[in-house]
Homo-oligomer: A and B are copies of this chain.
Amino acid sequence: MDRMDPILIFKALSNETRLRILSWLKEPEKHFPVHEGGDGLSLGVCVSHIQEKAGLSQSTVSHYLLLLQRAGLVEAARRGQWTYYRRNERTLRELAAFIGEQV
């Protein structure tokens, strides 16, 4: 039940690519090919698909996804050699509430 850290979240969102990744993950089927492994796209999208679309190096994208994860904006699921990332809608709702009430 770890509490939301607004600074970490805002830092994660302070980058064009990370913002785009997050919005791509809103409708994965619209932006990524279906992956053979994970049940459709419910698990999320694997790093290589995200990397390809982002057009940055593999290490950078992996790092970005870690930042998004530490901010609680995405969740990761390891399946075999793949790591699937998907949005964490709860944090995004909390963020909207935070902006409406605290900021």
Contact = CB atoms under 8 A, between A and B. Distances in A.
A59 B66 CA distance: 35
Q: Is the interface of A mostly helix, strand, loop or mixed?
A: helix
A96 to B, nearest CB: 5
A10 B13 contact: yes
For this chain, the copies found in one complex come to 2
Given A10-B13, A14-B10, A14-B11, A95 B102 contact: no
6 closest pairs, A vs B, by CB? A10-B14, A10-B13, A11-B14, A10-B10, A96-B99, A14-B14
How many chain A residues sit at the interface, stated as a range, is: 10 to 19
A41 interface: no
Contacts of A14: 7, 10-11, 14
A68 B19 CA distance: 20
Interface of A: 6-7, 10-11, 13-16, 19, 22-23, 26, 92, 95-96, 99-100, 102-103
B96 A22 contact: no
